[in-house]
Structure 1
Amino acid sequence: MCSKIFGIRHLQVLLLFFALVLGFAMRVNISMAIVAMTDKRSEDPFDWNMQIQSIVFSSFFWGYIILQIPSGELAARYGGTILVTISIAVNSVVSLLIPFGAHYGGWKALCVLRGIQGLSQGCLYPTMHHLIGKWVPLEEKARLGTFIYGGTLLGTGIQLVASGYIAAYWGWPAIFYINGSLAAIWVMFYFFLGADSPQKSKHITREERLYIQTSLGHLNGQKILKTPWKKLALSRPFISLIVMHSGHNWGFWTLMTEIPSYMNLILKVDIKANGTLSALPYFVMYILSIPCGIISDYGLKKNWFSINTCRKVSNSIGEFGPALALIALCHSPPGNVTQAVGLLTVVVGLNAGHLSGFMLVHIDMAPNFAGTMMGITTFFANVVSIIAPLVAGLILEDQYDIKQWALVFYVTSCIYIVSNIIFIIFGTSARQPWNEPEETETNPDKIVEQ
């Protein structure tokens, strides 16, 4: 057992955590920025209705879906650090260009730039799964994996809070300038400190490397395996995982893109308070994600429950809970800000269960292909992420009509429930027989994820 409280594996986890903090900050900043950009009380506002805004929201995912499947394969072949570095670097540059593009090219130029950001972020999730499989020992998988992916929640929460104040005091362009600058700083740090695996790290001790290799079974190197595409396509548990990921994304991105507008139009909250109240659910979700990971690891270690039960219970908390809270929101008194914000906090906060739920099932089912599998499920999930804001825009013909907002929430609730039921019935964390297909070559430097 490696006794170090903080080792090089923890440094890698921390760097990947901040990559997701920054990546999601740049992914969601448009949700608050567009409120300021279209505010008729501001100087030179953009005259964009809800339909145009919905197109802008979805444009990120036009590019995002393209690299999902290839990036899992690329990470396995060439390593994950180069892909993560390029992703954040491109997002940094584009973020700095967005104010210029929106001013001179309008919403169409903004859609193109957001599409480029989405394209470059397409490799983030598959590459994260790949690097977690290289660096994180099995005994620490849930808590460190949850910590890394918790960066998506913290980045979202911080961005929503900061955006409200930045827009109020310095104007909405400053949101993108600050994001781009912070991302550039991260790229410099990761360039010098990041590594594809313990075998390639220049800073790791022999003791820590041996601990990680022993835990993951990498002592003698690992076979480079051909992805069993046909078996993946015919795997009922894997198809249920695709459905679950897609249903989760529908809910997550509907709420992400629409909550600031709901706060502004229905609850009449000003821009500074809007950012804080919109962010509150994501901070709660981040806080709840920490005990979820710790309890999962501890419960499995003590044999309190099987890994399959652990994942499905966690996931049900993260999907059924929000669905019921959304239904309650539809029946809450109109204009009651405290109750509405409280219910939205419950909706998003309970979503934390998915981080120790379906998000880790890829690694449970087939650790050798976890990156590729994450790329596939994320591809389909983000096709849904394109559709969800557009559907919300179509429903919200009158953006001030509380009944139309209730319909958006009802649809989201139904999708949460149905997708999780499918996952409970057909999903599994059991190791799949096609995890070990016929090998093609052996290379100790190219270790597939465990």
Structure 2
Amino acid sequence: MKFICCGSKGAMSVNENAANIENKKEAEAEGSTTYGLGVRHWQTFLFFFALTVAYAQRVNLSVALVAMTDAAAANPAFPEYAWSEKTKSLILSSFFWGYVLTQVPSGQLARKFGGKITLLVGLSICSVLNVLTPIFARWGDWQLVCALRVVEGLCQGVVFPSVHTLISAWVPPNERPVLGTCAYAGNQFGTIVMMATSGLLASSSAGWPSIFYVSGGVGCLWAILFFIWGASSPAHYKKISVEERKMIELAQASESVSEQPKEKLHTPWLSFFTSPAFLALIVAHSANNWGFWTLLTEIPSYMKNVLGKDIKSNALLSALPYFAMFCMSFVFSAIAMQLNKRNCISTEVSRKLFNSIGMWVSMCSLIGLAYVTADQSTMAVALLTVTVGFNGACYLGFQINHIDLSPNFAGILMGITNCVSNIMSIIAPLLVGFIVTNEHDVEQWRIVFFIAAAIYLVGNGLFVIFGRASVQPWNDPPAKPRRNSTPQVESQH
């Protein structure tokens, strides 16, 4: 009987080989910048389109409610509902009741089944439900509309975890700031298109129901395109070139020291919630959501009741801040790309810098907005535009930071932070409903703006202190030990 065993020399050799392979991967990944347009850019456009659809379907009710509760301001030939301000706030927040419930599970599902499946199923169902909204309003008044929005929220809860998982799989690390910004610019584009066209649709011969028919129909169109051309990863896309696929996979491999497939890694839940960097990310995301959704859901009402804008100009002016955000996100992305090329600042400083621009500039303009009087409508619109426009810098801050901390669990991290932060999205419109008892009272709106500014201040402050932009140790958790882990002795006869 001959015994074969491994000595320390063999172990050193294995470690050296592994180190050499890792260095080779990193070197090849660094050369990835030589590749031009490819399938990853087409996938990024599909992610952009998905987020455009998702946000159009989220915000359509914000403008539609103005026409639904004041038919004379749009088209009196369609139904009008006598809903109080508290009822409207309840309807606007109901979307998020379902939205928060599917955030964390969808992150796990996206890792297990692929981001394509979860994103496609969620948005397809939501698109169909949008088309049905006018019918549900006629059948069951605000109660049935609330129930419908809860289900839509459940469906859209998969969107951000799925998109984050897809970006992590498709986009090389050095391209994430630019392509990530391009994908998430769909948020603003959907908001712009929906807010700018909703007033025209509500005043048209098709009335306010057409707002839901159009947004739902476009969602169904996206679902067809994504079903045909979307993919969960380069390995699932048959027509991608060998060179591009190799470049992406090598770049992804350079971030991980684990040899296990991503879907086989066990999720280190305890490590997530004991990580100061991740806890700071949760706070930053929550603070941003409070301010963003306070404005997004209430701007149409503020424009109409305080600034005295009719529904057509209301819709266009409500869209202006998000058009500024859409444009500014690309400006900030270009600045970040130049800083990255010249190695002016580290990734961590870059994340904190742009997040501070996005939150603290918005904080200052919100304080200014709080002191604008009702007869200064031009100044109010300008400050609203600055508040929302500069918030686009956050895409290069906390938004992409999930992938910085853990490429392997980016979708789950996004699910967790989005779950917690969207509790803010539920509370914010409800709080506005309790504070603003008189929609025409500027002082009551001032309180709303002060609260949002204070939350911006604290949220970004904690991110600046505790935030990090390096891959965390728990990104590569150790493999679970086998039941029988005793070394085996090989024998040969």
Which TM bucket (shorter chain)? over 0.9
Q: SS state of the match for residue 409, structure 2?
A: helix
TM normalised by structure 2 equals 0.87
1:386-425 equivalences under 5 Å are: 386-425=426-465
Q: Which residue of 2 aligns with 1:269?
A: 309
> Is 1:217 aligned with 2:215?
no
Output the CA distance in 2 between the equivalents of 1:392 and 1:342: 22
Contact 1:92-1:181 within 8 A present in 2 as well? yes
Which residue of the other structure, out of 55, 59, 63, is the alignment partner of 1:24?
55
Structure 1 residue 39 and structure 2 residue 70: aligned?
yes
Q: Is the Cα contact below 8 Å between 1:60 and 1:115 reproduced in 2?
A: yes
Given residue 426 of structure 1, which amino acid in structure 2 is its aligned partner?
F
* Structure 1 residue 2 displacement after superposition: 6.5
Give the Cα separation in 1 of the matches to 2:128 and 2:241.
Answer: 36
Answering whether residue 88 of structure 2 is matched by residue 48 of structure 1, we say no
Report the TM-score when normalising by structure 1: 0.95
Question: Which residue is equivalent to 2:10?
Answer: none
Would you identify which runs of 4 or more consecutive aligned residues in structure 1 move more than 4 Å? 218-221
Q: CA deviation at 1:40?
A: 5.4
- In the TM superposition, what whole-angstrom CA distance separates every residue of 1:77-129 from its partner, at most 9, and x where no partner exists? 11010111111111111011100001121111111111111100001111111
Q: Is the 8 A contact 1:2 1:207 kept in 2?
A: no
Which structure would you say has the larger Rg? 2
Structure 1 residue 295: Cα displacement: 2.2
Gaps in structure 2 of 5+ consecutive residues: 1-31, 482-493
Counterpart in 2 of 1:445? none
Pairing 1:308-347 to 2, within 5 Å after superposition: 308-347=348-387
What RMSD over aligned residues (CA atoms) do the two structures have, in Å? 1.5
2:280 aligned with 1:244, yes or no?
A: no
Q: Deviations over 1:101-160 (max 9, x none)?
A: 011211111111111111000011111110001100112110000100110011001110
Instruction: Answer yes or no: is 1:286 the counterpart of 2:326.
Output: yes
Deviation at 1:335, TM superposition (A): 2.1
Counterpart of 2:392 in structure 1 is 352
| 1:183 equivalent in structure 2 | 219
- 1:57 aligned partner: 92
2:15 aligned residue: none
Q: How far, CA to CA, are the matches of 1:118 and 1:47 in structure 2?
A: 24
Shift in Å, 1:6: 2.6
1:448 — aligned with what? none
Q: How does 1:158-173 map to 2 (within 5 A)?
A: 158-169=193-204, 170-173=206-209
8 A Cα contact 2:373 2:442, kept in partner? no
Q: For residues 261 and 425 of structure 2, what CA distance do their matches in structure 1 show?
A: 36
Alignment coverage as a number of residue pairs: 441
Separation in structure 2 between the aligned mates of residue 363 and residue 296 of structure 1, nearest angstrom:
17
Distance, in Å, in 1 between the alignment partners of 2:271 and 2:250 is 29
Measured after TM superposition, the shift of residue 189 of structure 1 is: 0.9
Amino acid at match of 2:128: V
The alpha-carbon distance between structure 1 residues 204 and 94, as it changes in their structure 2 partners (threshold 3 A), is same
1:260 pairs, out of 294, 300, 319, with 300
Distance 1:60 1:294 in 2: 34
TM-superposed deviation, 1:389 = 0.3
1:298 Cα deviation after fit: 3.0
The amino acid that maps onto 1:64 is Y
> Which whole-Å CA distance do the structure 2 matches of 1:378 and 1:114 have between them?
18
* Aligned twin of 1:305: 345
Aligned residue in 1 for 2:410: 370
Partner of 2:210: 174
